Amino acid sequence: MNISKESLHAISFAIIEQKGSIAKRVSILQETDYPTELSHLSDVLIPMREELVELYGKSLVMTDEACFAAFDEWGSRTGQACLNVKMPLDAALKETRYFRKEIIEILTAESEFHDITIKNYHAITKRIHEVMDHAVYAFSLAFISYSDQLKRSAQQSMNEYSVPIVQVGHGVGILPLVGDIDTERARVLMERTPQECVKLSLTELIVDLSGVPIVDTMVAQQIIRLGEVINLLGVKPMITGIRPEIAQTMVALNIDFSKFPSFASLHFALEEIGFTLAQNN
């Protein structure tokens, strides 16, 4: 830009000087658009908005490397912070429109005051658009990446507790499976179920499938493999809860569960091993 440093610093200062008022105006607009989601977050979001406006102002007098590095750091930190306070991503992105309008109005007024040429005015506004677009990119990248990280962490935590073996008697355990079984959950089942069987000194394990909506080839193969593994540990596997429609699907897929005792319900499986009789005695 063919513009004096004094003029650029003056415009930069004008933007920074109004960061508080800009942040408050944007907050009012956003809380009008998202009253339920954002009204209670003013104390958290206003300082973030002020910091962003200050960065926009400083961007006019910073080198490209320093400028984009600053926005990368801001985006990484603020993206995570906004996700932590449950700010919707669409609401966060919508703010850019309001900030753009506020900053351009200041640029226009200051350019007139400092007799900035049309060419230089367009150069300055181009710079602002570039850094705003980069801010959106840095923020969105951090927000989505951190969101994915939290989802993976939650899924891992859920998987850690997805082997709920219930010991119902001496040497007898029940593994009630509920929900879909994907590759990761199948891996956890294969890893933790044998450990739990040994830990509980089981001799018989009833795997109840009544809560599994779909038993496809992958699920069936994992259950068969699991049965073979615990059988080698001296634990007798038993299968219960296979619904008629799932049984038909398994036959159509040539899935053979014949090597493991199968029962229509958990009740019948417990009776088969004498659990009810033992309880009555």
Sites in the chain below the pLDDT cut of 70? 1-2, 157-162, 275-281
Residue-level pLDDT at 162 = 61
Secondary-structure class of domain 5-159 per CATH: mainly alpha
CA distances from 260 to 12, 13, 205 (A): 76, 77, 11
Q: Which of 208, 152, 213 is nearest to 180 (CA)?
A: 213
User: What percent helix, strand, coil does the chain show, rounded to 5?
Assistant: 70, 10, 20
- CA-CA-CA-CA torsion sign (175, 176, 181, 185): negative
Residue-level pLDDT at 279 = 46
Q: Is 10 exposed, middle or buried (0-12, 13-18, 19+ CB in 10 A)?
A: middle
- CA-CA-CA-CA torsion sign (184, 189, 192, 195): negative
Residue-level pLDDT at 159 = 60
The domain ranges of the chain are 5-159, 166-280
pLDDT per residue as tens digits for the range 218-230: 888 888 899 999 9
Q: For the chain, give the number of residues.
A: 281
SS3 state at 173: strand
CATH architecture assigned to 166-280 = 2-Layer Sandwich (3.30)
Residue-level pLDDT at 280 = 44
